[in-house]
Amino acid sequence: MTEYFTITRTLRAPRELVFEAITKPEHFAVWFGTAAVTVPQESLTMDVRPGGAFRAVMELPDGNRIDWAGEYKVVEPPSHLSMTLTDQPGDDAGLPVLFDLVEVDGGTELTISQDRSDFSDEQVAATIAGYNAFVDDMEDVLESIQSA
């Protein structure tokens, strides 16, 4: 049985715009990188359709990099996106990550769920902290889109 861990946040933006921030390279590169990490837009492959490929490179402040890969499994704009995600391309197909978007008063409730797999409690806590940092930066992206 698959066990997921989740974060849920409410964003002050319509869900179509939140879905766009998750699926458009020019927005994704900003929030996936967060303020401390760079994701060069030219490193992104985002073929957002079932069976489509995802690839990205994170350039870390210490000069190291993380290569990410995945495959889009379910794409139901603007309410649901399911993809695999791994930082070990070629060795690992990746864990399922689900993005669920629900309209609520004043914006969109975003829930990100990931298969726990064999993650330790410390790895789960670090991943949750990472997702929260992503969403913090996504809020800034959404604010800049809406004010443009």
Q: Any residues with CB less than 8 A from the CB of 59 and at least 6 apart, and which? A: 37, 38, 39, 40, 65
91 pLDDT more than 70: yes
End-to-end CA, the chain: 45
pLDDT range class, residue 26, cuts 50, 70, 90: very high
The encoded tokens of residue 9 equal: 């946040």
- The CA-atom distances, in angstroms, between 58 and each of 5, 67, 83, 102, 108 are 23, 7, 18, 29, 27
Does residue 43 sit in helix, strand or coil?
Answer: helix
- Contact between 108 and 80 under an 8 Å Cβ cutoff? The reply is no
Q: Mean pLDDT, to the nearest integer, of 84-93?
A: 86
- β-sheet bridge partners, residue 59: 38, 65
Q: What is the pLDDT of residue 148?
A: 78
Torsions phi, psi for 94 (to 5 deg): 100, 160
**Confidence band for 93, pLDDT divided at 50, 70 and 90:** confident
Number of domains into which the chain is organized? 1
Question: The domain spanning residue 22 has which CATH number?
Answer: 3.30.530.20
Query: Is a pLDDT exceeding 90 seen at residue 75?
Result: yes
Across 46-55, average pLDDT: 97
Please tell me whether the overall predicted TM-score, pTM, comes out greater than 0.85 for this model. yes
Mean pLDDT throughout 11-20?
97
Q: What is the mean pLDDT of the chain?
A: 93
Q: Where are the alpha helices (DSSP H) in 1-148?
A: 15-23, 25-33, 121-147
Range of the domain at 10: 4-147
Residue owning tokens 């869900």: 15
pLDDT over 80 (residue 16):
yes
Q: Is the pLDDT of residue 1 over 80?
A: no
